[in-house]
Amino acid sequence: MIVWLFFILVGVLVTFGVYLYFNQGRMVFIPMRELVVTPEQLNMTCEDVYIEVAPGERINAWYFPGNPGRKTILFCHGNAGNISHRLETVQFLKTFEVNVLLFDYRGYGRSDGRPTEEGVYADARAAFDWLVNEKKVAPQNIILFGRSLGGAVAVDLASKVTCGGVVVESSFTSTDELGRKMFPYFPVKFLLRFKFDSLTKIAKLTCPVLVTHSPDDDMIPVEMGRQLYEAAREPKYFIELIGSHNDRDYLENQAYIEGLRDFIFNNNGI
């Protein structure tokens, strides 16, 4: 009986391991093609643009102009949905009268292709280059803003370009660490095909860094946000959010509003 139980357990673990290896892309990336709302429906002025990321492949982006001379926010969204699910955040950022470029990774919304780790990195770089080349925005006037998975994308981009700063919101240290927390008794490290190693990359950044995270985050532990903050070089700042991972009540929190405003325009402390 013990021998049979052992083989059953091994069989279950192997089956789960095979499933995890071949299906982890569906866990990491959860794109939606359909747009739930458009800027026009919310009376928001924007340019609907397509940016080439590979031969025959383009990503879709919305550019929201602000006041002339203001900073520009390049927003990297999380792993689920598409840009139409982030218009509340754009409306919030527009209260700072900044320009905002919101883009979909390949495979999301109206973007071509399918998402991969290297692919989403390349998509962010293409969006950044579009701002510099098409909108003539000086790199030091671009603030990279990444939420959740987008935090890893923003950190990677900040490690490759000159920028005015990077905001890492409710994000993780690496998929390895996150996987071990999700499956503590399973050797996920040997099965993962994605790294998203922000902890290593953030330690090498030379731009200002703002990390925000909630102690009540039910998907990514706040300890990961604090690890990212500790690993970053000065100047660096930390803002404690409120609510669970997908709550946005903190967008009305005055401490968050003022802290983010100071970071975007001053980088001189929070």
Which listed residue (148, 170, 174, 198) is catalytic? 148
The one catalytic residue in 85, 245, 247, 262 is 245
**Annotation marks residue 148 as catalytic:** yes
Options 104, 123, 156, 217, the catalytic residue: 217
CA 66 – CA 243 distance, rounded (Å) = 29
Residue 121's nearest CA partner among 201, 225, 62, 236 is: 201
Q: Are strands 209-213 and 99-103 parallel, antiparallel or unpaired?
A: unpaired
**Kindly report the CA angle at 142 between 125 and 147, in degrees rounded to 5?**
70
Residues 6+ apart with CB under 8 A from 241: 169, 170, 212, 213, 214, 217, 250, 253, 256
Residues marked active site are found at 148, 217, 245
